[in-house]
Amino acid sequence: MKKYFNLLKSAPIIILLLTSCNDDFLERYPLDKEGSANFYKTEENAIMALVSVYDVLGHDETSVSWAPFVTISDILSDDAFAGGGDSNDGAEEDQMNTYDIATTNPLVHAIWLRNYTGIFRANLLMEKIDGVDASDEFKAQVVAECKFLRAYFYLELVRFFENIPLLTETIKGPSQYPQPQAPVADVYNQIALDLVEAVAVLPESYSADEAGRVTKWAAQALLARTYLFYNGVYSQELNAGGTVVDKAFVLAYLEDLIANSGHDLFPEYETNFKLAGEFGIESVFEISHGDSPVWWDWNYVRGGEGNLAAQMQGPRVEGGSVLYDRGWSFAPVSQKLVDDLQGDPRLEFTVLFEDDIRADEPGVTLNYGYQHTGYFSKKYTSDAEHWGSGGQFELNRTSNIRVIRFSDVLLMAAELGSPNAQTYLDRVRDRVGLTSIPATPENIYAERRLELSLEGIRYFDVLRKGLDYASQEFTVVGQSGPNYDGDQTIYDHTFNPSTRGFLPIPLTEIDLSKETEHVFQQNDGY
């Protein structure tokens, strides 16, 4: 869904968004005429409000900082360093890279704000939907989409922060401001319930002009991702309103998806990250970005549709490049990932090499940034194919984020013990010309590293294997690479297991909670 932004005010909410899910004109209504009390009347209103919930998926920037999910999660992992123009430019990212994160870090607060914005919008629309003049079928689908999106936002929050408030309704006034941090099981079980209920209602597909709306298959896959992390970290099963969501339950969802969804692997791995691959057969869930409308406003970046991860991670190429231009070199790829991918055909489609840039365009300038390794992400980058058609150059990158690909589904099913595990692993490897290897748990897990690197998945995959494994993988010493720029010490970092891999609760939120009866407790290690 090529989306537009809507403006969220505190209370009442004022919604300014499209009348459809694709590329229609943005009609802005007078701010003094429409609010939450009188807006939710027609089917058109409901679609506009639904687009506003989807819109938060692409909010890589909030009022406090830029924090694209892929960029931040890869920096936290061993896939990438912090980067940026210099040590000051990437100071907040470097805190995440070194696992020495301040409770005032604006990136942390941005993640918190973004996801609670999405949860608020989803809750509000579900509360208002009964007043909409539309069919019961229409209302049920809108609610199902909101439940999926709420589950997605909560999964991002609980995996990053663990101890968070659980809000399934909007706050109605000051008397409801005190909100406790919920038991972690309650949050995960709510995610499971939302997704199970969404699966029962969501359609299996949409018309081409509604690409980006979530399907039954996306909900099934997101539940599997949720289960693998929750079961891995907490050794517990999920409970969806009395329905036990265990390995067999989740595997049945995945087998249904594999057999009946129509999703499949692209013949060529690299198609996944090309314009030709957007909303393609391999994409189970995808977040849309684009250049419509073209955007100029640096003071309100989230008003545009550009992919900020691609801008941040692109190489600092200048001087008339026709291939890459004006990236900021955040999240430079680690030597460790390059080493892990050596001999694998996916390396050339995953990592962009400094030497290749210089060979392809010898006349352009490649400026070294902080923690320069000579390697950049090739999946989300400032390549010419994804340059915008106008507006501020840096704010209009057009590459979509592939959140869940079919290859991930195959590997999740194999990991969960499918009787077809060998076939599923072989399909993933055969696509890139690799020979069959036994479908052991170790080989299946290792294949995820090769197949899904630089897609924001690695950090959570490692955490669900335990803190000893996280310390082994995330502690990186002497791995700067042959093209490094700077002292070795700026690359070395040691994982801090006392935090258990979670980010700190933002200090701003703790301070606000002190005015209530439920004072937030800071996470361990901070």
**Residue carrying structure tokens 């995808």:** 286
- Secondary structure of residue 238 in the 3-state scheme: strand
Residue 495: what are its φ and ψ, rounded to 5°? Answer: -60, 140
**Dihedral in degrees, nearest 10, Cα atoms 199, 217, 150, 289:** -150
- d(CA 400, CA 391) in angstroms, rounded, equals 18
- d(CA 280, CA 405) in angstroms, rounded, equals 10
Q: Contact 380/313 with Cβ under 8 angstroms?
A: yes
pLDDT of residue 442: 98
- Secondary structure of residue 181 in the 3-state scheme: strand
Angle made by CA atoms 250, 256, 258, in degrees to the nearest 5: 105
- d(CA 464, CA 80) in angstroms, rounded, equals 19
- d(CA 376, CA 354) in angstroms, rounded, equals 8
Neighbouring CB atoms inside 10 A of 338's CB total 19
User: Which two structure tokens, joined as six digits, stand for 115?
Assistant: 């996801």
Strands (E), 233-282: 238-240, 243-245
Residue 245: what are its φ and ψ, rounded to 5°? Answer: -105, 95
Contact residues for 298 (Cβ-Cβ < 8 A; gap 6+)? 392, 395
Going from the first residue of the chain to its last (526 residues), give the mean pLDDT of each consecutive group of 10, the final group possibly shorter: 32 31 36 65 96 96 94 98 94 97 98 98 97 97 98 98 97 86 98 98 96 97 98 98 98 98 98 97 97 93 94 91 93 96 98 93 91 96 95 95 98 98 98 98 98 98 98 91 82 96 97 92 97
Q: For residue 208, give the DSSP letter.
A: G
Whole-structure pTM value: 0.93
Q: Contact 3/305 with Cβ under 8 angstroms?
A: yes
Residue 244: what are its φ and ψ, rounded to 5°? Answer: -75, 125
Q: Radius of gyration over alpha carbons of the chain, in Å?
A: 22
pLDDT of residue 448: 98
Straight-line distance from the first to the last Cα atom of the chain, in angstroms, rounded to the nearest whole number? 39
Q: Contact 72/352 with Cβ under 8 angstroms?
A: no
Task: Provide the residue type at 362 as one letter.
Answer: P
pLDDT of residue 33: 54
- Strand pairing class (238-240; 351-353): unpaired
pLDDT of residue 501: 98
pLDDT of residue 2: 41
Task: Provide the residue type at 233 as one letter.
Answer: V
- d(CA 333, CA 344) in angstroms, rounded, equals 16
**Residue carrying structure tokens 């409970």:** 239
- Strand pairing class (238-240; 283-287): unpaired
- d(CA 373, CA 478) in angstroms, rounded, equals 12
Residue 80: CA atoms inside 13 Å, Cβ hemisphere, count? 38
Domains of the chain, start order: 36-293+402-513 (1.25.40.390)
Question: Please, what sign has the CA dihedral across residues 30, 36, 37, 43?
Answer: positive
Q: For residue 516, give the DSSP letter.
A: S
| Cis upstream peptide for 30 (omega within 30°) | no
